[in-house]
Structure 1
């Protein structure tokens, strides 16, 4: 574990010198020092870091919940649902069509619908933090889309599980879906009406007790969520949502920061451990085609979300690129597909697709201004900005002359 931390730190420091984001470098460290590449093997079995990796994901989403206040959720509920719905229709629909076009089978197409359709909450959170955009207006619809995706995710997994396992019991599938939806509703009600009670229970002037309390609450509810068929990350997100609105919210945000960074790095490192580069050439062309489809759908979804919220081309480009990465959920689907005995090309395809977008997503988010220029109205906005800058410079020169 110490070697994993150090390797991730060294690569991230080297990459930072040339302006590369940390996420793909953490993943690269896992690939280079894992069991699938020659040379030094720090971790021979990716499952050795499974619990720490899960903790990293929980803390990333817990932090996201702290930043996403209940007032934002209540104020933008309808817009959030429309923007998130549009994102899912475009991306999940394109993923399903792409899956059928590959001709690998119906079950495989249903898996690919989720792989291509759902963003990586962990990578999206890290991108928002790294780019310093948590306070931007377009961050609210980005977080809203993630929430809608997580609600869809719980229902999708509940419906997919009996299909992959070969179960023919509709009642069993409905029961699992109902259980997941009921627990999500309970979490939402607790976040809406239980904030004051939770705030009184967790409030303490002692930082040590506060850390133990919020960490225990986040991890415990994440585990309970998973037991009910809801993604563990959404449970942690809801705890963050509740605690962020309490009087201790600002202190918790500061105290969880180093924990989030440390275990978030382990999450991405463990992701790299699971990738075998030798499997990737077999599925190279389908992976490139899938990436192209995802790029197109994300641009369309970003434009749709920007129109709902009344944003211009700049925020639309930020939405499109920030939500581009795919990650932890796709890996869960790859594991499920392998256990169900689906097409053996599916696992390397998902690994290559996720790796490429995990690298491309943060890079694209950091350079989103170039996409903004080619979107409708982008050139006009850029020209207006240039004119304003020139006018400002002219006024400064005149002022200096006077």
Structure 2
């Protein structure tokens, strides 16, 4: 763990000198020091960091929930739902069509639909934080799309598992979906009507006890959620949403920053450990085509979202590029596919696809003003020089 922190910090400092974002550098540190590349191996088994990586994901999404206010959900819920469903329809639909076009099999096509269709909540959150865009108007639709994706993720996983494993029990599939939906409903009820009661439970003056309390709540609820077939990410988001709307929401945001930043680095480092770049050449052309499809679908979804919200070219470009990354969910699907004995080309394909987009997305998101220039209305955007100046980060960003 110490080596992971030091390696991630060292590469990030080097990259910072030439203006590179931290996410791909953390991932690169994991690749270089993992078992899939020659040279010194820090960790033979990526599972050694599995729990810490999971904690990093939980804290990233918990922080995202803290920044998402109930008023935003109440006033913009319909728009967010439409934007999220459209994003899923475009990307999941394109992924399913691409999967069938490859001819690897029906189960493989269903897996690829999820791989190409769902953004990385962790990377999207980190991009928004690093770019200082949490307060931007287009961030609310981005968060809304992430929420819709995570809800879809829970139901999708529940339905996919028995399909790719050859289960013939429709009743079992329906029960898994019902459990996931029921737990999500409980979280939604708590977010809507339980804020005052929960706020009293977290009315703690001592910082130490408050940290222990909110960390325990986020991790415990996330763990329980997984037992019900709900992704730990969406559960952590919902806990953050609830606590962020209590009287201590601002204090919790400040206290969670160092935890979020430290364990997020471990998450991305662990992400790199699981990638085997040597397998990429065998599936390079399908990977490149899939990346191109994802870019096109994201721009299309960004344009649709912009039309709903009345955004100009720059917010449209921010939506399109921020949601481009694919990550933890795709790797979960790769594990499921391998366990089910599906086509052996799936694992290297998913690893290559995720690696390229995990590196590309932060780089492109940081230069989204280039895309804005060629989008409708792009001629009216500020000059490249003005757009390149980073926005001031909120005082509580923790950087």
With normalisation by structure 2, the TM-score equals: 0.95
| Unaligned ranges ≥5, structure 2 | 387-399
Rounded to whole Å, the distance in 2 between the matches of 1:299 and 1:116 is 14
| Residue 206 of structure 2 is aligned to residue 206 of structure 1 | yes
Deviations 1:151-185 (A, max 9, x none): 11111111101101100111111111011011101
Q: Which residue of 2 aligns with 1:2?
A: 2
Question: 1:71 maps to which residue?
Answer: 71
Q: Indicate the SS of the match to 1:167.
A: coil
Equivalences for 1:336-351 in 2 at 5 Å?
A: 336-351=336-351
**Equivalences for 1:239-318 in 2 at 5 Å?**
239-318=239-318
Equivalents in 1 of 2:238, 2:114: separation in Å? Answer: 22
Shift of 1:61: 0.3
Structure 1 Cα separation of the partners of residues 369 and 136 of structure 2: 15
State the shift of 1:376 in Å.
1.1
- Taking the aligned partners of 2:38 and 2:78, their CA distance within structure 1 comes to 52
Alignment of 1:228-243 (within 5 A): 228-243=228-243
Q: After superposition, where does 1:2-401 map in structure 2 within 5 Å?
A: 2-379=2-379, 381-382=380-381, 385=382
List per-residue Cα deviations over 1:214-252 (Å, max 9, x = no partner): 000000000011000000111111000000001110110
Alignment correspondent of 2:393: none
- Secondary structure at the counterpart of residue 43 of structure 1: coil
Partner of 1:397: none
Equivalent-residue separation in structure 2 for 1:41 and 1:98 (angstroms): 36
Gaps of 5+ in 1: 390-402
* C-alpha separation in 2, matches of 1:147 and 1:233: 10
Which range moved further: 165-174 or 134-143?
165-174
Cα deviation for residue 320 of structure 1 reads: 0.2
Q: CA deviation at 1:9?
A: 0.2
Q: CA–CA distance in 2 between the matches of 1:39 and 1:92?
A: 38
Q: Choose between structure 1 and 2: higher helix proportion.
A: 1
Distance in 2, matches of 1:86 and 1:276, equals: 33
The structure having more radius of gyration, on CA atoms, is 1
Give the whole-Å Cα distance in 2 for the aligned partners of 1:179 and 1:137: 35
Give the Cα–Cα distance (whole angstroms) in 1 for the partners of residues 175 and 310 of structure 2: 40
